[in-house]
Amino acid sequence: MVMRQLRVLVTGAGAPGVRGTLHALHHNPDGIEISTVGVDLQADPVGRHMVDRFFQVPAPESDAYLDVLADIGRREAIDVIVPQTTREVAVLARRRGDLPVPVMVGDAEAVERANDKFRLLEAFAEIGLPHPEYALVTSPAELVRAAERFGYPVRPVVVKPPVSNGMRGLRILREHAWNVERYLREKPTGIEISLPALCEILERGTAWPALLVTEYLPGAEYSVDAFVGTSTEVAIPRLRCAIRDGISFRTALDWREDLIRPTLDGARYIGLRLVFGFQYKLDAHGVPKVLECNPRVQGTMVASLFSGTNVVWLGIRELLGWPGTPATRPVSPGAAFYRFWGGLAVQADGTTIEI
Q: Which amino acid is at 175?
A: E
pLDDT at 145 over 80: yes
Q: What is the mean pLDDT of residues 187-211?
A: 85
215-249: b (≥16 Cβ within 10 Å) or e = bbbeeebbbbbbbbbeeebbbbbbbbbeeeeeebb
pLDDT at 178: 67
Whole-number pLDDT of residue 330:
57
DSSP per-residue codes, 250-263: EEEE---HHHHHHH
- Residues with Cβ within 8 Å of 203's Cβ and at least 6 positions away in sequence, in order, are 140
Pairwise CA distance, residues 132 & 80, whole Å = 37
Provide the pLDDT for residue 52. 97
Judge residue 94's burial from the number of C-beta atoms within 10 Å of its C-beta, 0-12 exposed, 13-18 middle, 19 or more buried.
middle
Q: What is the mean pLDDT of residues 282-300?
A: 96
258 close to 282: Cβ distance less than 8 angstroms: no
pLDDT in tens, 245-273: 778 888 899 989 999 999 999 999 999 99
- Tell me what the pLDDT averaged over the chain comes to: 91
More confidently predicted of 175 and 221 = 221
* Local confidence band at 177 (pLDDT 50, 70, 90 cut-offs): low
Write down the H helix ranges in 34-85. Answer: 65-75
Peptide bond into 45 cis (omega under 30): no
**210-248 pLDDT tens trace:** 999 999 999 999 999 999 999 999 999 999 988 887 788
**Mean pLDDT value of segment 193-204:** 87
Sorted by where each starts, the structural domains of the chain and their CATH numbers stand as 5-105 (3.40.50.20), 111-128+218-338 (3.30.470.20), 134-215 (3.30.1490)
Which one, of 121, 49, 124, 57, lies nearest residue 85 by Cα?
57
Sign of the C-alpha dihedral computed for residues 339, 241, 262 and 120 taken in this order: negative
Cα 217 from chain centroid (whole Å): 20
Predicted confidence at residue 266, as pLDDT, reads 98
CA gap 14, 16 in Å, rounded: 7
Number of CB atoms found within 10 A of residue 338's CB:
12
Residue 72: helix, strand or coil by DSSP?
A: helix
Distance CA 198, CA 144 (A): 11
- Say how far apart CA 29 and CA 4 lie, in whole Å: 12
The answer to whether 151 and 215 are in contact (CB under 8 A) is yes
pTM of structure: 0.92
Contact 300, 325 (CB under 8 A): no
Phi-psi region of 100 (alpha: psi -120 to 50; beta: other; left: phi over 0): alpha
